[in-house]
Amino acid sequence: MVQRDSIAPGGIVGILGGGQLGRMIAMAAARLGFKTHIYCPEEDAPARQVAYQWTVGAYEDIPRLEAFAASTDVVTYEFENIPAETAKLLANRTLVRPHPAALEIAQDRELERKFLTRIGVPVSPFHIVSTRQELDRAVDAITLPAVLKTRRGGYDGKGQAVLRKAADADSAWEAVAGAPSILEKFVPFKKEISVIIGRGQDGQYAAFDPSENRHRDHILHQSLVPCDEPEPTMVAAHQHAIRIAEALDYVGIMAIEMFVLEDGALDPLMINEIAPRVHNSGHWTIDACHVSQFEQHIRAICGWPLGTSARHSDALMQNLIGDEVLEWRTFMTNPQLCLHLYGKNPPRPGRKMGHFTRLLPLGTSRSQINSG
């Protein structure tokens, strides 16, 4: 069903955040005939280079945010750590999608764990930790090994510490700087996968095939599709994603990272994290699918029907982090790679500068993918 209140081409899509995700959302919006307005604190943001309008402003600058909201037909965000207050202020003046409520849950690992537990998707046992004493009690309750994670603000392995023995508690508590945290039981897993799911305003959903994610230095290095797991595991992954999106009455693209547990586990999957936005592990969809995660996000937030999430190819996406981007001559010389550079400079260590996708015919064996 076409929504009566869908936003027509020519409308203005506001995007909070000017990084590469905002940039790729802006390009997808332009493809569908929308104009874009970027709002971010940085002068020289990658998304600005492809946007119709932009405002440089702090996320606490109420008059600027109000003017930004007034210029848009819908506002979305490229990352989940914008202040929930900012999203609420905007939501009083324009359409904000996904709902600010999804932000609040994703920003707070305690709310997120409790939400996931309540709706019955599998998460590892956890314990809230607000003081050093509570950490000891949590270690007793959960049993080690376990991972201590700050409730708020963690990403790319920051704000985390592994506890293998009780004596690790002191250094772990130091690593999280005494911030409100959660201790999660470490469950041995074979691999991390993620499901990128889009949900429309009408409740329709479209989930991309799960990808296998490989990390290096706690930063996503590669995503591979398909993820080489048996069909029932894939179906379960999609079912978990749908349950989460439904329970949030979500509109837009959401990423759900899951662990595939060692053979013999009661449940083959465990939810690691949800991100209420387009996601690095879905970049392969630009080149391997008819409709990318970015276009799907635009379709959803503008009240359009979703496109197909079908793939025409197998794919391996690889991030170009920091200095790796200086090898662009090598990547561009390989005619089979779809290269994406984010217009960032300089290539600081750990900075995501670009990515490439290697496309392979459907049904390519995993050993062939790995050998490329």
Site for its own copies, rule CB under 8 A: 2, 6, 8-10, 23, 26-27, 30-36, 48-52, 206, 287, 290-291, 299, 304-308, 312-313, 325, 328-329, 332-333, 335-336, 338-343, 345, 354, 359, 361
Q: Cα–Cα distance between 20 and 47 in angstroms, integer?
A: 6
Smallest gap from Cβ 44 to its own copies, in A, equals: 11
* Residue with Cβ nearer its own copies (48 or 277): 48
Nearer to its own copies, 247 or 359 (CB): 359
Q: Which residue from 77, 108, 91, 5 is spatially nearest to 254, judged by alpha carbons?
A: 77
Between residues 118 and 329, which has the closer beta carbon with respect to its own copies?
329
Is beta strand 53-56 parallel, antiparallel or unpaired with respect to 74-77?
unpaired
Min dist CB 305 to its own copies, Å, is 5
Q: Could you tell me if 197 and 256 are in contact, meaning their C-beta atoms sit under 8 angstroms apart?
A: yes
**Closer CB to its own copies, residue 53 or residue 130?**
53
Smallest distance, its own copies to C-beta of residue 9, A: 5
Q: Work out the number of other CB atoms within 10 angstroms of the CB of residue 163.
A: 23
Nearest CB to its own copies, comparing residues 169 and 320: 320
Query: Could you tell me the smallest distance in angstroms from the CB atom of residue 312 to its own copies?
Result: 5
What the block records as the tokens of 193 is 């996968």
Residues 6-11: contacts with CB within 8 Å, 24+ apart? 6/201, 6/302, 6/303, 6/304, 7/34, 7/73, 7/74, 7/302, 7/303, 7/304, 9/33, 9/34, 10/34, 10/35, 11/35, 11/73, 11/74, 11/302
Task: Give whichever of 31 and 216 is closer to its own copies, judged by the CB atom.
Answer: 31
**Residue 121 CB, nearest distance to its own copies (Å)?**
27
Conformational region of residue 177, where left means phi above 0, alpha means psi within -120 to 50, and beta covers everything else: left
Least separation in angstroms between residue 7's CB and its own copies is: 11
Give the nearest distance from C-beta 307 to its own copies in angstroms. 5
The distance of Cα 196 from the centroid of its chain, to the nearest Å, equals 8
Scan for tokens 């955040």, then name that residue.
17
Judged by beta carbon, residue 92 or residue 333, the one nearer its own copies is 333
Distances (CA, A) of 13 to 16, 77, 205: 10, 10, 21
